[in-house]
Amino acid sequence: MAAILRITGRRRVEGDVRAAGSKNAALPMMAAAILADEPVLLAGVPHLLDVDTMGRILRELGVEVLWDEDDTVQLRTVDARPVRAPYRLLRRMRAGFCVLGPLLARRGEAVVALPGGCAIGPRPVDLHLAGLKALGAEIELRHGYVVARARQLRGATIRMAGPDGPTVTGTANVLSAAVLAEGVTVVEEAAIEPEIVALGEMLGAMGAKIDGLGTSTLRIEGVARLGGVIRRIIPDRIEAATLLLAGAITGGTVRVAGVVPEHLSAVCELLGRAGCQVMADGNAVTVHAADRLRGVDVTAEPYPGVPTDLQAQWMALLAVAEGQSTVRDTVFPTRWMHVPELIRLGARIDQFDDRAVVHGAARLSGATVTASDLRASAALVLAGLAAEGTTTVRAVHHLDRGYERLDLKLASLGAEVRRM
């Protein structure tokens, strides 16, 4: 039987908690281990369903995946012949597609299923494929798989932005392929998310030559081989922000340690505008909730803006804030599947094609709701924390894909959350 979360709301969430390692950084970094001639050791890897899935994909591709300690993973290629990443695993998450670039660059061939993941709107991979074609790969689509071949990739100038902005996973794929390409590759309009910087710094520590990390233009000088590396995964800014929002929506004070405050600057600025007190202290951020939250307009956009992976959680908070708020998502403009479930809890939301208007100060009441995707599940948990009575969140396997036992962390802060 699938697990559910049962939440008794109207409990103030308060205290100290530590952020886990970043899922969105760990997955492409694990995939990049394919490029190495020697073992790769990653510390701070979160225990998540998506991490488990990436481990299974890598084992299919001849990579030994060993958990040395609670959060440390050692990856070592033991068989460089496999090149097929199957649909039965790729259908579970989009980030599995990040093996395409490393496979192609290291083994000369990649047969990778078109990806699945959360149902949050169309996410084409055309920019991934165009970038790899520019590096000299021959690519065809066959029976739901991308088949890519190249005896030797060669440097090129590549543009990684589409109509909705730069592609993060596309940048990861092209960057991971270009480090072993002959000559110089220039990636224009590259994603600048901290997770891409973390991947680039890992590749640099393995011997890659990359300039421009953290900017929209990357210059990569190809090398003949990459060695092993020991790296620590950066903190998960999405989990950290979700915990801060839990404090705000319940009227509590929450301190999240083990973070990079700069990665949370857009979220902290919005929390301040909503009336909260927000303080950064070293590697921790504290939010002290306002007596009455104020509505704010939220636009999800590429870094350093508010992440699309927090759009749903913000909508839950705005449902109980004073005033009217408008929510837009420039990254996934149709990411609204959480709206009907929030309405079931009493939120007053008008949904349009390109935006949602939240009429705040709703008195949420507990109900049974079903998560449609990873971040929608977090939004329903937040709404349940603020709702009167009991909220039952179904399909929490979505939550477990990207949050390391969020229920236990919230319980440690005083929330009444039970997994059943």
Cβ neighbours of residue 378 under 8 Å, at least 6 residues apart? 242, 312, 313, 399, 403, 406
Asked if residue 257 lies in contact with residue 236, where contact means CB atoms within 8 angstroms, the answer is no
Q: Find tokens 């949420």 and name the residue.
A: 364
Angle subtended by helix axes 126-134 and 168-178, to nearest 10 = 20
Task: Give the contacts of 163 (CB within 8 A, at least 6 positions apart).
Answer: none
Active site positions, annotated: 118
Q: Is 284 exposed, middle or buried (0-12, 13-18, 19+ CB in 10 A)?
A: middle
Separation CA 21–CA 24 (nearest Å): 9
Q: Which of 300, 293, 251 is nearest to 272 (CA)?
A: 293
Cβ-proximal residues to 335 (8 Å cutoff; 6+ apart), any chain: 120, 121, 300, 308, 311, 312, 329
Query: DSSP class of residue 154?
Result: B
Report the DSSP pairing between strands 390-394 and 5-8.
antiparallel
Backbone angles phi, psi at 414, to 5 degrees: 105, 0
